[in-house]
């Protein structure tokens, strides 16, 4: 089973600012956590970050036939990007939306996700554990069946 983890804009800053919202771990720390758990579950993962919407769209498009599941923290693009939504919908690779913070408990503009309707489900509010929970969902909750 191959799972593609995609991270959107500014997540490269994790661990350097706003630890009260996003925690103290860097994205590399989170990747290590996910790799550790994936090895135990026998899953293969790739883990990427981009600040560019088009690059995320390209990675989603290229995932077809290679990855069983995408785990996507689209960051601010969650709330703005029709392009990401269309890419997820067009490619048809089951996608799990994740967030470190509980977006529903924050500013109103974060309550709306443009990608949620085309995702299998959403995991939000568990900090770095959101990534591990998504991995477990991908492997154990049959995320590949549409
Ligand atoms: O909670 C999440 O995972 C978010 O996807 C994070 C996004 C935010 O726009 C979403 O509403 C919720 C922001 C990522 C920016 O990360 C930073 C990390 C450290 C310092 C500043 C920003």
* 3-state secondary structure labels for all residues of the chain: CEEEEEECCCHHHCCCCCHHHHCCCCHHHHHHHHHHHHHHHCCEEEEEECCCHHHHHHHHHHCCCCCCEEEEECHHHHHCCHHHHHHHHHHCCCEEEEECCCHHHCCHHHCCCCCHHHCCEEEECCCCHHHHHHHHHHHHCCCCCC
Which residues sit with their C-beta closer than 6 Å to ligand 1?
10-11, 13-14, 17-18, 22, 73, 75-76, 78, 99-101, 103, 110
In which band, very low, low, confident or very high, does the pLDDT at 143 lie, cut at 50, 70 and 90?
low
pLDDT in tens, 130-142: 999 999 999 986 5
Confidence label for 115 from pLDDT (cuts 50, 70 and 90): very high
- Ligand 1 nearest-atom number relative to CA 98: 3
Phi, psi (rounded to 5 degrees) for 29:
-60, -45
User: What's the gap in Å between 40 CA and the centre of ligand 1?
Assistant: 28
Is 99 a known active-site residue? yes
Closest residue (by CA) to atom 20 of ligand 1?
Answer: 17
pLDDT score of 116 = 98
Cut 0.85: pTM above it: yes
Instruction: Indicate which atom in ligand 1 lies nearest the CA of residue 101.
Output: 1
Average pLDDT in the 57-73 region? 97
From the CA of 21, give the closest atom in ligand 1: 1
- Kindly tell me if the per-residue pLDDT of 53 is higher than 70: yes
Q: What is the pLDDT of residue 58?
A: 98
* Catalytic status, residue 22: yes
* Candidate from 16-20, 49-53, 95-99, 132-136 with smallest mean pLDDT: 16-20
């Amino acid at each position: 089973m191959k799972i593609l983890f995609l991270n959107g804009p500014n997540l490269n800053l994790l661990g350097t600012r706003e630890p009260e919202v996003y925690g103290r771990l860097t994205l590399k720390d989170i990747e290590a956590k996910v790799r550790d758990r994936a090895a135990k579950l026998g899953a293969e993962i790739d883990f990427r970050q981009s600040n560019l919407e088009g690059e995320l769209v390209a990675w989603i498009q290229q995932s077809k036939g290679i990855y069983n599941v995408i785990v996507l923290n689209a960051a601010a693009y969650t709330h703005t990007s029709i392009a990401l939504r269309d890419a997820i919908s067009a490619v048809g690779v089951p996608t799990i939306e994740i967030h470190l913070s509980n977006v529903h408990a924050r500013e109103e503009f974060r309550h709306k996700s443009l990608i949620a309707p085309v995702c299998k489900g959403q995991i939000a509010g568990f900090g770095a554990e959101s990534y591990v929970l998504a991995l477990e969902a991908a492997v154990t909750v049959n995320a590949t069946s549409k």
